[in-house]
Structure 1
Amino acid sequence: MTYVSSFPARKIKVNGVKKLYFGGTAYLGLQKHKKFLKIYFKNIKKYGTNYGASRKSNIKIDVYDEAEKHLAKLVGSKACVTLSSGYLAGQLACNYFKAQGHSLFYAPNSHTALHQNNSSNYASYSDLAVAVENHIKKSNVTPVVFLDSLDFYGLNYPNFKGLQQLPLDKIIVVADDSHTIGLPLNNGTGCYAQLHKLNPKELIVCSSLGKGFAVQAGAIFGTTKRIEELKNTAFFGGASPATPANIATILTAESIYKKRQQKLKQHIQLFLKGLNNKELFTFMPNHSAFTYSDQKITTYLKEHNIIVTSFNYPDKDSPTMSRIVLSAHHKKKDINKVVSLINTLYD
């Protein structure tokens, strides 16, 4: 466990020693970006630091509707609703369908944000397919299948082969798209359009907006009818929304997002071009997280003052999750250093 006293950006200081940081989910590296912060502070001056009222209040701030239309257009959905976090977005979707009497099924590696009570993931898509088929034979209620669109192990994005084993025309699909929306993958649009082409009975996508847009917020995308139903729940009405300054920044920092997406894409290409042992890693096209299992990499990089993501996730009894995460805030020399060290380790 390593403690730091400021945001872990490109560099962190541990016991007085500066180290390069290749972890976390600040993919675009905007949390300490001067031009981005200038826009963000301007929005705070206009909207304040917090808005604790319900979105169902008789007083409404128009920036929410404006941003939700913008986000829906970006991903290709009919409608969108924003919330204070991606976790809350997942929980709203989960609680809503459970309350409606649907049976919930979880694909392998699904995030805890999508879970309710002690529900668990199926070990394989084959097992999931059998369970869903059995449910359909016995019940007239449409099953709901939850998954992470990008699961860091290649089971879903980019081909969604496992999902295509299911009778999608008889299933509501709820996908957590937190690690794709706003990032270079699919030009920032996430996986909504890809999933929609698979023709599920209904598609809902929920997401954190913090990873791609660098502000604390979440969102749900779907049909106009379904989004309105979600907005009319007590769960939604009783929760405070994302701060309007955060939501406004998604609109006003659009040009910065595009530039940083392009920079991150270049970093990914640089990393892959220099790496000799690509088979050591699991990675997806145009995504900057490179998952690995050989803990020699973690140890060797740490010896050379490079910290990566490596911990038991999502709880202490889970296996160690290790990955190198590239960010737009890195410099070319940082990436070349990591590549050189990995190549040296396996020479």
Structure 2
Amino acid sequence: MIRRLWPFVMGSVALGLDAYVIAGLLPALAVSMGSREAVVGLGVAAFTGCYAIAGPLLAGQAGLNSRRSLVGALAVFTLANLATAVSTTVAVFLVARAVAGAAAGVYSPLSSAVAATLVGPQNRGRALSLVLSGLAVGTVFGVPLGLALASRWGWRAAIVLIVVTGAVSLAGILSHGGDLPPVPASSPAARLRAAARPDNLVTVTVTLLTGIAPLGLYTYLTVVLGQSSLAGHQTAAIWVWGLGGAVGALGIGHVVDRGQPLRLSALLLAGLTMALAGMTASHTPAVMLGSLFVWGVCGWASLAPQQHVLLGANPDDGATAVAANASANYLGSALGATLGSLLVAHDATATTLCLAAASVAALAVIGQLARSRMSPHS
């Protein structure tokens, strides 16, 4: 399966690196651009916000010509990151992040939908988790590598790593043998009707809350770790979080294909809530490291079951269904990053940040339990 899907996985690696390495670069970015961390942190919100808007608007129509759309989205994404690497002001930086996010918003859901179509419904969960695992791999290996490059040659070197990774994915898709399958897309009116269906609304809302909680907090993970006993070991702590993410993303596919994705999602969200609350144990390294690992496992594993549910409930518009879920995730991240920026700007403690994230995750658990009681097409 990996031989057929590796270009899509590599593209996800680039997206994961792009979305998460910025959090570790905030101090250097702030100094380089003469700004505050809370301001340059809005680059995360710009990326994720534009991702959230572009996905549902464009992914459905893009699926009609999968190869051309994937190539175009990756090309724009790579060029936007090149612009990020050469930016010298906050304004240029934020615009470049917004363009990269919009391109990612088209590429990510479409690549997942195409991958699921290529392997057939019996292997859908594994295909989805494999593509999503690229995001985790981009964090586990890419983020520490990017931070290491940044510490030696400056923050721009980390962005160049994203450019190179995106270019490799682009080359892989261009050389992919055979035509890529089109992804079903309904009319705009039909999409609105599907989006308004209660089961879809609840599923997407749960994903939104899931994005707000862990992804928003991750944007300011350096702030949380800086006030803890792990302040001198932040790179190692990010490795632990990313390793958990890789385990969750890679392992969830087989479990999803066995059924019960709704129940599985509720369990994962409950674990995520407890892990985020556990991050308040700032003076107990073992508890914090364990919480980081479980946070990574549950946070990354929660995406595939939600996508599986939406693909099954919306067989006539797979690309838009996946795009809606992915956009909700990234919109949640944008909201979380923005809210986190406000809290950081008002000198909120690490405990406050973690408890706020845990509270939002608890709301996601309640929403998922409600979704489990609904009929598939209610």
Normalising by the residue count of structure 1, what TM-score does the alignment of the two structures yield?
0.29
- Who wins on radius of gyration, i.e. which is larger? 1
From the two aligned structures, give the one with the greater strand fraction: 1
Q: Which has the higher helix share?
A: 2
Higher RCO, 1 vs 2 (CA within 8 Å, ≥6 residues apart): 2
TM-score normalized with structure 2 length: 0.28
